[in-house]
Amino acid sequence: MEIANERALYQTRTSVDFGEGAATQTSKFGLSKIISADRLTKAKWAFSTRRIPNSVPKRLLAGDFSPSAGDLILAKVVGLGQHKRLELPDGRRAHMFLGDEIVVCYGNRYAPNQFEAVVPDGLEECDLVAAGGLAATTLSRNGAINAATRLQPLGLLADENGCRINAFQWRLPTTTATPAMLPPVIAVAGTSMDSGKTTSAAALIRGLRDAGLRVGAAKLTGTGAGGDLWHMADAGAAATLDFTDAGFVSTYKVSPEALTGIMNSLLAELLKIEPDVIVLEVADGLLQAETATLLQSPAFKAAVDGIIFAAGEVMAATAGVAWLREKGLNVLGVSGVLTRAPLCIQEAESVLDIPVLTISDLVDGALVPRIISREVPDHAA
């Protein structure tokens, strides 16, 4: 459902005539009541809510509501599972206890090492499927992890007019950075989650910074969490952004147009710091639908000068490089988990015609000359 239509639906479902001082109102779809500032202050607010001021929610909507991705909810922790701590907007991971009230967002999640989950149809009991604060219904989970922490939604959070609050309302301005406006842009993609993308991106940022370059960084896709942002900031990026700044708590099931919009918005925002280089991270693996869609889009190809590909083992690296080249993308080198093993490096170097880059290589600036010169190798499309 498009966000404009969602907003119209929010108005239809939540607009009621509130009398002055009225604590509770009943509408066609359920109950709307004033929620105290003290109650919201005592609740634990998740990273996914980070752009929304705590002072905005004034009412709690309960009843026959169909939530949408990005909707803010107040929920009670009724069962502790995989996630026992909630990542707060400042990055601290707060311990949760049974009975805690937390403020999170509804959202879809795609994580092969954790959960696949979708926004439920109603305000029934659901799962906390990400430490950054995503409420959803689990479809499947990796057998190596525990069942999800269980949540009882107490209601959707709404403003003083009774209109539900959605993270999309607090996004950056929708603007576009044309390719001609951009400095060199390098993307880091990979075979899957946990293949070493963020570590590689951070090492690249450090190498660029140590070369005297001003770096802007952004994570374009994934599930809302602060760890990757702070890793890139700690490496020396002058500014770091992610898709939550563009109004999305996750990018699973987001339309191709929205993915392009996220990239354009984040690039335009990063241009404000006048970077010499921009580093982008694309989450998950090449076969994940949103990742594949974004990488093949004309907008991505026009904006990005080259890709560093992170892989866990050599066969995956070989297949991934071939996939990227087939799509007309310029692969600068291979990095990631496989570079921990000298034997894997040897194998990769024996079959690939591009550099195999360890974390030390990236930190030491192995790619800096090629990046600043925007060199395109002969084998690039």
78-119 per-position pLDDT tens digit: 999 999 999 999 999 999 999 999 999 999 999 999 999 999
CB 101 within 8 A of CB 154: yes
Is the pLDDT at 23 greater than 50? The verdict is: no
Average of per-residue pLDDT values in the chain = 91
Confidence band, pLDDT 50/70/90 cuts, at residue 17: very low
Confidence band, pLDDT 50/70/90 cuts, at residue 29: low
Domains and CATH numbers, the chain: 3-168 (no CATH), 179-373 (3.40.50.300)
> Which backbone phi and psi does 66 adopt, to 5 degrees?
-105, 110
Alpha carbon distance 156, 67 (integer Å): 8
CA 245 to chain CA centroid, nearest Å: 9
Question: In terms of C-beta density within 10 A (0-12 exposed, 13-18 middle, 19 or more buried), how is residue 87 classed?
Answer: buried
Q: Which whole number is the average pLDDT over 321-343?
A: 97
Q: Give the pairing of strands 44-45 and 101-106.
A: parallel
Is the pLDDT at 24 greater than 60? The verdict is: no
DSSP 8-state symbol, 243: G
The three state secondary structure string of 358-378 is CHHHHHCCCCHHHHHHCCCCC
Percent with pLDDT over 90 in the chain: 86
Alpha carbon distance 253, 293 (integer Å): 11
DSSP 8-state symbol, 58: -
CB proximity list for 43: less than 8 A, separation 6 or greater: 74, 100, 101, 102, 103
> Which backbone phi and psi does 94 adopt, to 5 degrees?
-85, 130
